[in-house]
Amino acid sequence: MSKQASALAKARERRRTLDKTRDEQDQRIEEATAGALVALEARADAERALEAATGLVGEALKVLLAVDVPAEKAAALLELDVAEVRRLVKAAPADSSGRDAAPVTRAKATVSVLPDAAGGEGAARRAG
């Protein structure tokens, strides 16, 4: 074998070794990247689940507050901080009309007509 042929064979063998090492590194990079992509997808799923659960807790808290349970008592019932109760209530989604989803309670109002000092319809306008 000539010196040239021997050198070519040696160069070819070294290149194959380098190619094998590079291929192994590429494989490790691809596996690590795939693992990170799967983890990112799982994280996004978990964030969506957390957001949905937060909304459900907020809706339940709105119901408690609507039946005249003070925020402090609701916090004690759930072993939460009052600030967390308020944050969760704010995080609850509104219904499609743009109003809060919690039931609304209304007190009956009475209107009394007060007599005007000069009498007349001015008193009725101010009252109503």
Residue 128: band (very low, low, confident or very high) from pLDDT cuts 50, 70, 90: very low
Residue 1: band (very low, low, confident or very high) from pLDDT cuts 50, 70, 90: confident
Could you read off the pLDDT of 8-62 as tens digits, one per residue?
999 999 999 999 999 999 999 999 999 999 999 999 999 999 999 999 999 999 9
Place of tokens 């070819």: 12
Residue 116: band (very low, low, confident or very high) from pLDDT cuts 50, 70, 90: low
The tokens for 51 are 């957001």
Could you read off the pLDDT of 70-115 as tens digits, one per residue?
999 999 999 999 999 999 999 998 864 444 444 444 445 444 455 5
Cβ-in-10-Å burial (0-12, 13-18, 19+) of 23 comes to exposed
What is the structure's pLDDT at 94?
Answer: 81
The tokens for 8 are 């070519």
Domain that holds residue 17: 3-127
Full DSSP string of 22-91: HHHHHHHHHHHHHHHHHHHHHHHHHHHHHHHHHHHHHHHHHHHHHTT--HHHHHHHHT--HHHHHHHHHH
Domain tally, the chain: 1
